[in-house]
Chain A
C-alpha cells in the first residue's frame, strides 16, 4: 500500500541539523561579479549552531554583497550554499552558473532572519503586527500562539510597552529591537545582523552583546557584519576578515584582531583604531 506523501511544513529542526553535524549555514567557493568586477572570490564560510561569527573588512570588500547572497536577496554566480540539510544552490557539472533550487530557497527562507542596518520595519503596522504578521501569513501558524510568542519576545527585548505603537514613534534602538523580535518570531536557526551596533550607545551596545550571547547559548547561529572591532572582538567566537572579495584571515578574535598574521589585516586594523 502506498499512501501519497504529504509534505510537512518546514519547521526549524535545530536538533536534526546538529545531529547530522551540519553547520547552520555553509558557503563554499562562492563567487560573484558585478559586470567585470569580481566582488566575491572563492568565499567559503560556515556558522555552526550556537556560534557567533563576525565578518569584518574595509568598505567595498563585499560584506554586504555576501550578506545579500546569504539572505537570498541576490544570487552567487558559482559556489554552494546550504542551510543545515537544505542545499540552496550548488555547481552542476556542465553549467557555468550555480543552480538554485526554488523549493530549497523557500525552505531556507524559514531558517534565517536578518536585522537590516536600517531595520526596514513596516511603517503601517504596529510593533506587534510587525512581529506577528509573517508567522501568521507566511508560516500559517495559529494567531493566538504567535501573539503569545510575540509578546514574550517584546518583553524580553524590553519593548513590550510599545507593542501598539507604530515604528516611527520609536527611537532607532527600539526599532532595531522590533526588527530583532520580528526576525526571532519566525524561529530561525540563523540570524544575521547588518551593522549590529553602529546606531547604539554604550549601554545599548552592552545589551546587544548580552542578547547575541543569549541567542547563541540557545543554539542559534549568529552572523554579524560590523565595522566596530571592539564589539566584534568581545561578542564573536570567530572572526572572518574579508578583503577585496576574499577571506584572507579567519580565526578566534584573539587571533584575527589580537594577533593578525596577514599584512592586509594588520593594515586594516591599524587604520580602524582611529
Chain B
C-alpha cells in the first residue's frame, strides 16, 4: 500500500517541481509584460493574469486538456494528460508569481534605478543585477505562501486522472474500505509543507545578510 502511495507521491512532487521550474522564470517575463510601457501588451498581460486568478485551476486544466480536441478535432494520446496538467499549472502559477514580482518591483526605490543608470548599466543589466536580486528577497514571504499552496494544489491533477498521491490514496480507500490511506496521504502532504517551510526559512536567513 505504501508503495502505491509513494509512487503517487513522486508524481505529485514532479508536478510541484516542474511548476516551480517553469513558473518562477515565466512569472518574471509576465511581470515585465504587465509593467511594459507599451500599453497594449500591458493590457493583454493584465487580462491573462486576471483570467488565471479569477477562474478555478481545475477548469483551466480541463480547458488545456480539451482544447486540442475541440479546436483541431485531434485525439490526444495518454501522454498529453500530464502535459496538459503541467501547462495549466505553469501558466496559472506564473500569473500569481507575476503579481508578486510586480508588487516587489514597484516597491523598489527609484534611487536604485537612478544610481545604476548613472553608472552606465544597460536596462537589462540594471534589472537583472540590481533590481531583481533585491526584489527576490522582498517577495520571499509572499512566494512562500504560494509555494505551500502549490503542494496542496497538485492534488487537483486528480480530476484529470493523473495518478498523483491523492488519486492513488482514493483508489486505495475504495479497494481497502479503510480511511487509513487518506490519513497517510494527509500526513505526507503536511510533512512536505513543513519541509518546504523549513527550506524557505533557511533561504530567508541566507538572504538576511542585508536589510534595506
**A266: interface (CB < 8 Å):** no
**A120: interface (CB < 8 Å):** yes
A138 to B117, CA, bound (A): 11
Which residues of the other chain, A, contact B210 by a CB distance below 8 angstroms?
123-124, 166-168
**Contact flag A168-B211 (CB < 8 Å), given A120-B112, A138-B120, A182-B119:** yes
**Contact flag A138-B119 (CB < 8 Å), given A118-B111, A120-B111, A124-B210:** yes
Query: Would A109 and B134 count as touching, CB distance under 8 A?
Result: no
**B209: interface (CB < 8 Å):** yes
A71 to B125, CA, bound (A): 19
**B79: interface (CB < 8 Å):** no
A-contacting residues, B175-212, CB 8 Å: 209-212
Which residues of the other chain, B, contact A110 by a CB distance below 8 angstroms?
120
**A133: interface (CB < 8 Å):** yes
A123's nearest neighbour on chain B, judged by CB, is: B212
A114's nearest neighbour on chain B, judged by CB, is: B118
Query: Would A137 and B129 count as touching, CB distance under 8 A?
Result: yes
A68's nearest neighbour on chain B, judged by CB, is: B114
Instruction: Give min CB distance, B48 to chain A, whole Å.
Output: 31
A106 to B211, CA, bound (A): 32
A134 to B16, CA, bound (A): 38
Instruction: Give min CB distance, A101 to chain B, whole Å.
Output: 16
**A33: interface (CB < 8 Å):** no
Query: Would B134 and A186 count as touching, CB distance under 8 A?
Result: no
A124 to B212, CA, bound (A): 9
**A122: interface (CB < 8 Å):** yes
A-contacting residues, B82-107, CB 8 Å: none
The number of chain A residues touching the other chain, given as a range, is: 20 to 34
Which of A109, A118, A124, A137 touches B118 (beta carbons < 8 Å)? A109
Query: Would A72 and B137 count as touching, CB distance under 8 A?
Result: no
**Contact flag A120-B115 (CB < 8 Å), given A137-B129, A138-B125, A168-B211:** yes
A138's nearest neighbour on chain B, judged by CB, is: B120
Known: A73-B114, A124-B134, A124-B210. 14 other contacts (CB 8 A): A71-B118, A112-B118, A120-B111, A121-B115, A122-B130, A123-B134, A123-B212, A133-B129, A134-B119, A137-B121, A138-B121, A168-B212, A186-B119, A186-B120
Which residues of the other chain, B, contact A120 by a CB distance below 8 angstroms?
109, 111-112, 114-115
A interface residue numbers (CB < 8 A to B): 71-73, 106, 109-110, 112-114, 116, 118, 120-124, 133-134, 137-139, 166-168, 182, 186
B interface residue numbers (CB < 8 A to A): 109, 111-112, 114-121, 125, 129-130, 133-134, 137, 209-212
Instruction: Give min CB distance, B203 to chain A, whole Å.
Output: 14
Instruction: Give min CB distance, A245 to chain B, whole Å.
Output: 22
Which residues of the other chain, B, contact A137 by a CB distance below 8 angstroms?
121, 125, 129
Among A112, A113, A133, max chain B CB count under 10 A is at A133
Give me the 6 closest cross-chain CB pairs, A-B, nearest first: A120-B115, A120-B111, A134-B119, A138-B120, A166-B210, A123-B212
**Contact flag A122-B120 (CB < 8 Å), given A166-B209, A168-B211:** no
A182 to B116, CA, bound (A): 11
**Contact flag A109-B112 (CB < 8 Å), given A123-B134, A124-B137, A168-B212:** no
Which of B120, B134, B137 touches A134 (beta carbons < 8 Å)? B120
B210's nearest neighbour on chain A, judged by CB, is: A166
Query: Would B118 and A122 count as touching, CB distance under 8 A?
Result: no
Query: Would B120 and A109 count as touching, CB distance under 8 A?
Result: yes
Which residues of the other chain, B, contact A106 by a CB distance below 8 angstroms?
120
Which residues of the other chain, A, contact B133 by a CB distance below 8 angstroms?
124
Which of B114, B120, B211 touches A123 (beta carbons < 8 Å)? B211
Which residues of the other chain, A, contact B117 by a CB distance below 8 angstroms?
72-73
A143 to B116, CA, bound (A): 19
A134 to B109, CA, bound (A): 19
Query: Would B118 and A139 count as touching, CB distance under 8 A?
Result: no
Query: Would A113 and B211 count as touching, CB distance under 8 A?
Result: no
